[in-house]
Structure 1
């Protein structure tokens, strides 16, 4: 007995799935989205630094890519082609947002920028500290760092996605790491590492008290 069509596509390459989608099997596009959701989210966040806006940008990028699938020339991998669409959409969104904020400042005084979800979590957990440190990197260094170190993309994939040379990828990655070390050193002294923080304390206390009260 042959396996269901959806299971069979698990062995297909991205490019083969693209061809099947173009030929009418629209439901298979979901497989591509689920495969690349995390990668696109991280890359968009490295540009936008707002999770809700990043999700909106991803949706737009996926729709744009779907509408252009028939024009996909297979000169690069599908993932590289999709990432380029996402980066372009993210940068366009950032430009529009900057223009809107500039217009608003002509009419009202903005005392401070609203905090993002990541800002609200700052200094609560190491994860939040690391995320903030990454987001402080200048955009060109942040993109390379996210692609290479967080998303695990190869040097060649990064080169193709950003349309820069190999030496530029390596230089930007090394510079990003140097800047991160400097940024992270400002957060703690050696004696503060592995500190038993309030969050962990609350978890343990609440659990034990719940068990005591339940008994």
Structure 2
């Protein structure tokens, strides 16, 4: 988009809270920055719960639109990223419940690592699959905490708020998750798994901003 170059030059380094105030005041085009800023995190969180690439993208779309429509409900008591991630997590839980009503829950982890994009095939395919396999085997409560803390680098407080648990439980679950993963994988973790590549980022931006653009007269 030609617009993104202008946005980057002006507002890409702006804090979330500043952008949200501007968006709520009518500068809805700035929501594109929010989408690009959080695509990777939401994708990783979604994969830690749903384990299906397409379902995660759909949940992301719903989460972004929901966040945009409810910006006035953001009270600045926590970080915007925490608020947005919680919306995504709730949407993932809802999608899983809806899916469970139709199909039995599968214990097979193949869907969790089924991300056969050209980018993944080119970029350390064997290592990425090994990493994703290892994480897929973690029970969900440990997997979610591990993704938020070790891959997304969120604080204990933010992780506890998103997961809805005590901070002490975050530490316990993280330590348990680490003990269940091979030590040799740790140094490669951040660079190798759950990559939401640029082409997909552009697609997500296009979808959500088309919706935002069609709601020009909407009172936030």
Same fold by TM-score, threshold 0.5 exceeded? yes
> Given the two structures, how large is their TM-score scaled by the length of structure 1?
0.72
Aligned mates of 1:120, 1:21 — CA distance in 2 = 33
CA RMSD, aligned part only? 2.5
Aligned mates of 1:52, 1:13 — CA distance in 2 = 30
Deviation at 1:163, TM superposition (A): 2.4
1:88 corresponds in structure 2 to 90
> Given the two structures, how large is their TM-score scaled by the length of structure 2?
0.71
CA deviation map 1:36-65 (0-9, x unaligned): 100110010000111111111100100010
Q: Larger Rg: 1 or 2?
A: 1
Aligned mates of 2:34, 2:50 — CA distance in 1 = 23
2:210 corresponds in structure 1 to none
Q: Taking structure 1 as reference, are residues 179 and 37 closer, same or farther at Cα in structure 2, changes over 3 Å only?
A: same
Number of residues paired by the alignment?
A: 171
1:8 aligns with 2:13: no
| Unaligned 5+ runs, structure 2 | 1-5, 117-124, 186-220
Aligned mates of 1:147, 1:98 — CA distance in 2 = 25
Q: Taking structure 1 as reference, are residues 120 and 9 closer, same or farther at Cα in structure 2, changes over 3 Å only?
A: closer
1:156 corresponds in structure 2 to 157
1:181 corresponds in structure 2 to 182
Q: How does 1:48-63 map to 2 (within 5 A)?
A: 48-63=50-65
Q: Assess if the C-alpha contact under 8 Å between 2:50 and 2:112 holds in 1.
A: no
Q: Assess if the C-alpha contact under 8 Å between 2:52 and 2:114 holds in 1.
A: no
Aligned partner of 1:69 among 62, 68, 71: 71
1:145 corresponds in structure 2 to 146
Aligned mates of 1:115, 1:5 — CA distance in 2 = 39
Deviation at 1:118, TM superposition (A): 1.8
1 or 2 for the larger relative contact order (CA 8 Å, sep ≥6)?
A: 2
CA deviation map 1:68-122 (0-9, x unaligned): 00111111110000000000000110111111114xx9xxxx9x9794272587x
Aligned mates of 2:8, 2:150 — CA distance in 1 = 32
Q: Assess if the C-alpha contact under 8 Å between 1:118 and 1:131 holds in 2.
A: yes
